[in-house]
């Protein structure tokens, strides 16, 4: 029986209880990732709505849930670094996304938005085995969906978020993120994207069905 240390937490582990981050392979790609084909697709009002045809997962596989549960406690302390990296990268590539943020939060210089996203990701990963506390009426998911619908967030913007968040995870955590772990987090992010997209589409339809309602 050999003993090693987790590269993130520093905790000792045996070969029977191996740190899930231990792995020699650097992540070069992310399984299950939908792709945005060009920059313009994330802002056009003609973007296709709903998650139909996007190839997003209907559920998170049990093995990937286990990986999220195993890795979340050691990823959480680095989550603010990850979300700071995410916002730097995504706004560098897509400065037009600034229009969706409250100018008072000064998202490019303030920690307000990175902290909010970090807290949301930690809450999601903490509840990954049972998401019902986040999905209750008036809960976190409904509140986020209402804000997104008010801003007319479109499905392909979630693809951009997924790609840049996964890249930020790889950039901050580096070689310790194995392909299996990257795949688990990728699937979890894409599943949550589907939850948001479908819930927001329901809100858009409800608005359209009202007398004098419209969308776009």
On the question of pLDDT at 67 being above 60, the answer is yes
pLDDT tens column, 37-63: 444 434 433 356 678 888 889 999 999
How many Cα atoms within 13 Å fall on the side-chain side of residue 144?
Answer: 19
Residues designated catalytic: 158, 200
More confident residue, 149 or 128: 128
- Residues with Cβ within 8 Å of 96's Cβ and at least 6 positions away in sequence, in order, are 42, 43
Question: What are the C-alpha distances in Å from 165 to residues 118, 140, 154?
Answer: 11, 20, 17
On the question of pLDDT at 27 being above 60, the answer is no
CA distance 36 to 46: 15
Burial class (CB in 10 A: 0-12, 13-18, 19+), 213: exposed
pLDDT of residue 105: 60
Mean pLDDT of 96-101: 84
Nearest to residue 147, comparing CAs of 113, 176, 173, 115? Answer: 113
Domains in the chain, start-ordered, CATH in brackets? Answer: 20-209 (1.10.490.10)
How crowded is residue 62: how many other Cβ atoms within 10 Å of its Cβ? 9
How crowded is residue 175: how many other Cβ atoms within 10 Å of its Cβ? 13
Rg of the chain on CA atoms, in Å: 18
């Amino acid at each position: 029986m050999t003993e090693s240390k987790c590269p993130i937490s520093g905790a000792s582990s045996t070969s029977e209880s191996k740190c899930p981050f231990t792995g020699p392979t650097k992540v070069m790609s992310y399984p299950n990732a939908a792709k945005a084909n060009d920059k313009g697709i994330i802002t056009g009002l003609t973007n296709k709505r709903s998650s139909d045809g996007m190839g997003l997962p209907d559920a998170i596989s049990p093995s990937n849930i286990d990986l999220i549960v195993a890795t979340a406690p050691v990823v959480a302390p680095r989550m603010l670094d990850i979300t700071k990296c995410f916002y730097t990268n995504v706004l560098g590539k897509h400065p037009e996304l600034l229009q969706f943020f409250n100018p008072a939060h000064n998202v490019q210089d303030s920690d307000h938005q990175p902290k909010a996203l970090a807290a949301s990701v930690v809450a999601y990963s903490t509840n990954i085995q049972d998401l019902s506390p986040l999905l209750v009426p008036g809960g976190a998911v409904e509140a986020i969906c209402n804000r997104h619908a008010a801003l007319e967030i479109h499905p392909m913007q979630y693809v951009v978020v997924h790609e840049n968040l996964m890249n930020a995870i790889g950039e901050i955590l580096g070689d310790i993120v194995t392909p299996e772990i990257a795949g688990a987090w990728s699937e979890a992010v894409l599943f949550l994207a589907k939850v948001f997209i479908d819930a927001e589409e329901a809100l858009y339809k409800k608005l359209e069905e009202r007398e004098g309602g419209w969308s776009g």
